[in-house]
Amino acid sequence: MDTFFNYNKAIARRPSKDVCNGLRTVDSGNPSYEIVKAEHAAYVEALIREGVDVEVLDPLLGFPDALFVEDPAIVFSDAAIVLRSSMPERRGESETLARALDNKFCNTLYLEHGFVDGGDILQLPDAVIIGLSQRTNREGAEALGAILKRLDKKSFICDSPKEVLHLKSDCSLIDFETILVTERLANEEIFKDLNKILVPLTELSAANAIRIKSKIFIGEQFSETIQILEKLQYVLVPLPTTEISKIDAGLSCMSLRWRG
């Protein structure tokens, strides 16, 4: 458990010039390619500053969402699992990402039934939570659970709020016993044994944060949530995410992270 947040390896992918065509549940305007590129670069630089060895893949033209490498796969220290997207526009991402994973992992497995996005997978120190959502169906969740069982990992299935894209749009594990979470997700039975820090109703997207070693990466625009966490003595790394958020993205989805 002591090494759970001590990631030292990551994969990311630079945004392509057609990133403004990325999928979105709410249209708040097209993001600027140059600003998305700068936000992504700041994110990668922050990982490197924390001692993470980041392999940055080339842009994948024709796949504007491909910079969100967390969705086509999930990774552990001992294995990677390539997932299946419910969105036809994104299915080509898995094949390209799988080649990079094969170079990193001795054991790469493939989801063969149903649909799962990595944004619906919340890893805990002792289990994996799979959220049912707009992008992850029960067939996929059960098939993924069977793969995880082969890897000796426990898994549980829960519902995501119907109005959100992914489970991790509304939650993130920020220490071994504490989850940063929205009010609409906090009462899920699966989280009953965790301490909960609720994000303000005006900053729901702040719930998508990531912990790297002793620090929490969070969107710099979420000033109320930052204040709450700082009062609780968490060490924060605020990062720009305003343009990336226009295509339903947050901090977790821009990298695959593991302890090598």
How far from 145 is each of 86, 151, 170, 175, CA to CA, in Å? 18, 10, 21, 24
Please list, in sequence order, all residues whose beta carbon lies within 8 angstroms of the beta carbon of residue 8, skipping any fewer than 6 positions away.
Answer: 51, 52, 53, 259, 260
Task: Tell me if 93 sits within 8 A of 63, measured CB to CB.
Answer: yes
Does an H or E element contain 148, and which? helix 138-150
Q: 29 pLDDT band (50/70/90 cuts)? A: confident
Helix, strand or coil, per DSSP, at residue 44: helix
Please report the pLDDT score of residue 209 as a whole number.
98
CATH number for the domain formed by residue range(s) 9-258: 3.75.10.10
CA gap 213, 69 in Å, rounded: 21
Tell me if residue 255 falls in helix, strand or coil: coil
What torsion do the CA atoms of 176, 242, 37, 68 make, to the nearest 10 degrees? 50
User: What is the pTM assigned to this prediction?
Assistant: 0.95
E-strand ranges in 79-143 read 80-82, 108-110, 121-124, 127-132
Q: Say whether pLDDT at 24 is over 80.
A: no
Binned at pLDDT 50, 70 and 90, residue 184 comes out as: very high
Using pLDDT thresholds of 50, 70 and 90, give the confidence band for residue 230: very high
Contact at 8 Å (CB) between 45 and 93?
A: no
Closest Cα partner for 112 from 84, 88, 135?
A: 84
- The ranges assigned to domains in the chain are 9-258
Arithmetic mean of pLDDT, 7-20:
95
* Residues 249, 237: Cα–Cα separation, whole Å: 18
Share of the chain above pLDDT 70, in %: 98
